[in-house]
Structure 1
Amino acid sequence: MDAFRIVRPGNVMVDQVRRRVQQHTLGHRGRSGDPLYGIRRLLLTGDERLTERGRQRITAGLAAGDRDDEVYYARVIKEQLRTVYRAGDQDAARDALADFYDVAAAADIPEADRLARTIRRWEDAVLAYHGSDGLSNARTEAINGLLKKIKRVGHGFRNLANYRLRLLLHCGGVAWQHQPAARLRGRAPQIAA
């Protein structure tokens, strides 16, 4: 199973914890001046992609809006889950996964417990990623998405032959040699000043 399928539930968990904490502390959904709402995108960004300014904004936002450190620990759990895919081999990934389970259990956050149960159900598929040298089905999913888009743009095809031709045209990498359009006028138009 590729990393996207596992990291996405981790991001969803962080966002759910942020929303719950914000609703509990402020009594309303996020607004532009709220500290946790202002850092919602930064919380989902991986540690390696954060700038120093981003780290400072996260620290300030969590200090202002996260009294019980639930959002902080949710982000730590998400980053621990991401380390599973950065592991070099299957044994290191298994150790990282065990660390993830320990951190999730110690945090005592309901959303983190739910995420840990989900990952435990998919543990074999997660570890299989390292056994297959990082292969994924991303290309297949990209082609399937393109096929669905072509069908949607065509408002459904009733003629299977036309649908097949349209798919081959878009997915086959055809490079047409276009003829330049013929000029309609004999001269360039005069621009009046």
Structure 2
Amino acid sequence: MVASGKDSREEVIQAWYMDDSDEDQRLPHHKEPKEFVSLDRLTELGVLSWRLDADNHETDPELKKIREERGYSYEDVCEVCPEKLPNYEEKIKSFFEEHLHTDEEIRYCVAGSGYFDVRDHNDAWIRVWVKKGGMIILPAGMYHRFTLDEGNYIKALRFFVGEPVWTPYNRPHDHLPARKEYIETFVNKDATNHAVDATA
């Protein structure tokens, strides 16, 4: 990548460390001063991201390529807003419970926006703001949660390898093989890489 060129993903995906406030979950919850997290840092934690053409997602060759490379055979659309989602209040509460899945969570925002909160290797929350055109993949076994932002609306495509299994395992579920594998692949590896940097 050219060092001078800005990463175009940053226009549709931004990340930062969250404050500890228990104010409305839909607020940005920036720390003071703000502490942004690079998309490269998210990649180190296992979170993959793309900027795609949301207006042409049905025919987008880049999306087709990602789906083929990663074996995503299943697709559906999920609209989260008070008008479209049955049992909205209940659902939004359950999405915001910290949980993991035994498979990847793939979300491609084609309208609106929302927050995917993930844990770093020290268990601190990172808020990942995904807007129209942003696609992220959370690895199996990573603790996370989701909420709408103040716009109160997201339309996302969800992808899956084979038959979809949407089961959330609320924390703690550290005994699951997917969690152990995540720790081994990303957290322990990360700890080794950062051991030399005492200031981190």
In which range does the TM-score fall when normalised by the shorter chain? under 0.3
Which structure has the larger Rg? Answer: 1
**TM-score scaled by structure 2?**
0.25
For CA contacts below 8 A with separation 6 or more, give which structure has more relative contact order: 2
Q: Which has the higher helix share?
A: 1
